[in-house]
Each structure stands twice: as C-alpha cells, then as structure tokens.
Amino acid sequence: MNHTILIIDDDENIGNMLNEALIKEGYEVLRAYSGTEALMVLEKSRPDLVLLDLMLPGLSGEEVLPKLKGIPVIIVSAKTDIDHKVRLLYEGASDYITKPFVISELMARIAALLRLSAITGQSSAEVDEACITVGDITLNNSLYIVTIGKTEVPLTRTEAAILNILMINSGRPVGRSTILDRIADSTPDCTERSLKQHISNIRKKLEAVDGIDHIEAVYGIGFKFS
C-alpha cells in the first residue's frame, strides 16, 4: 500500500519540488497552501505523514501542529532558532529540517519515520494511532508523554523512542544494537555510550510514579520491558 504524504507549504516552487520527489519515490501526495486549507484537507483525508512549513498564510504552522496529533510531522522551515526547534519537537513534531535542505536527506527522514510507524503498527500490544499501551502504561509517541494510571510523565524525544521499542517487545529482551538501529535516524543524540543513561532516566521516571522498575537489564543482551 502506498503511503500518502500531505505537503503544507505556501511556496509553490518548494511544494512542486517536494511533490515531484515524493511521487518519484512512490508516495501519494496531497497539497495545502495555507493552514486553513490544511485543516479542510484533513477533514476528508488522513495522511500517513505531513511536511509542515511554519510561515503560512492564515493559520501558522505552529497553530496547525496541535491539529495533527497521531500523524508523524516533519517541520520544513527556514527558521533556525534552536530553542524554537526544541519547543516544536516537544509539542509534537517528529522531526525538523531547515530550509534550504538536501532532498535526499529529507527523503531518508521520511522513510525512517514511516518505518517507525510501521513497527508500531505491527505491535502485539494495543495501539491507538500514535499511542501504545501495555498494562496500565500508555506511551504517546506524538507528545512524548507516558501515562501510568492517571499520572502523566513527560519524556524526551529519545526516551520516548527507546521506550516505544521496549513496549512493542514487552516481555522480550531487546538487544542494545537493535534499539540503536531502530532509533538511529530519528534520535542521533543516542549513542552506544549514552543508551544506558537514557534507559536509567526512563526507569527512574516510571518508578517514581508507581514504585515499580519496569525495565530489566538482561545480561549480555540488552533490556526488557515488563
């Protein structure tokens, strides 16, 4: 099945370039030239991924982003401020690429996000759009929030990506190299050296809520969520 990608960008030249590149890669493409038009498109169709510009006529990209919950979103913008990028990633964007960009890099990021979505979709755990649930723990992959009972715990983007892989394989050990390979494209800050610290941070955040250590270190293999 072909994936459908929605381009939200008022720059016709950039939109046309993206449209041509995506079609060449076998994707189906939807277009919107303003935030308001994007919401109209979303009323009729649900794309698998959205490429979102920020400086749009009418509703801005920042205003559109909260309407895209459950859909992977790559911000494609000329804005380069680091604090602004970080804020949008915390608010639900899956990735951020700055204009001008290399089209091959953007295509690789799109493919990586769609692969991650496919992995989540194949999980034996209960999945609801961008959420995965194991027992009374629910991870929202769009908002980077894990909910235990009624308590919400914010995670970093990297922590959410790691926890997602572990929850998908709940009850089964996942190798360190497998975790790193699965999240390499979307979380470049996670390395073999830092993985253990990221896992430790997740364990502490979860245990602080219910007093249970949900992640077990499996000697010689990796980690297991239970």
Q: Specify the length of the chain in residues.
A: 226
**In the chain, how many domains are there?**
2
Nearest to 186 by CA among 132, 133, 119, 111: 111
- Reported as a pLDDT band with limits 50, 70 and 90, residue 124 is very low
Last residue of a domain, one of 121, 148, 166: 121
Predicted pLDDT at 127: 37
Model confidence at 101: pLDDT above 70: yes
Q: Of 76, 96, 121, which one is at a domain's C-terminal end?
A: 121
Query: Is residue 195 located within the same domain as residue 91?
Result: no
Domain of residue 84: give its range: 4-121
Q: Are residues 78 and 157 in the same domain?
A: no
Which residues have CB under 8 Å from 163's CB, separation 6+? 139, 146, 155, 202, 225
Q: What's the distance, CA 175 to chain centroid?
A: 21
Residue 180 DSSP code = H
Higher-confidence position of 11 and 82: 11
Domain of 216, CATH number, reads 1.10.10.10
Tell me the per-residue pLDDT of 168-218, one tens digit each, with 9 for 90 and over.
888 888 888 888 877 766 666 677 788 889 999 999 999 999 999 999 998
Query: In this model, does residue 121 exceed pLDDT 50?
Result: no
Instruction: State the residue for tokens 């769609």.
Output: 114
- Tell me what pLDDT residue 118 has: 64
Mean pLDDT confidence for 45-66:
92
Q: Among 104, 121, 138, which residue terminates a domain?
A: 121
Query: Does residue 111 share a domain with residue 17?
Result: yes
pLDDT 10s digits, 137-164: 999 988 889 999 889 999 998 899 899 9
User: At residue 53, does pLDDT exceed 90?
Assistant: yes
The CATH number of residue 112's host domain is 3.40.50.2300
Mean pLDDT value across the chain: 86
Residue 218: what are its φ and ψ, rounded to 5°? -100, 110
Do 10 and 116 lie in one domain? The reply is yes
DSSP 5-60: EEEE-S-HHHHHHHHHHHHHTT-EEEEESSHHHHHHHHHH---SEEEE-SS-SSS-
Helices (H), the chain: 12-24, 35-44, 61-64, 82-90, 103-121, 157-168, 176-183, 195-210
- In the 8-state DSSP scheme, what is residue 142? T
User: What integer is the mean pLDDT of 75-98?
Assistant: 86
Q: Note whether 200 and 223 are within 8 A (CB).
A: no
Report the percent of the chain where pLDDT is more than 70: 91
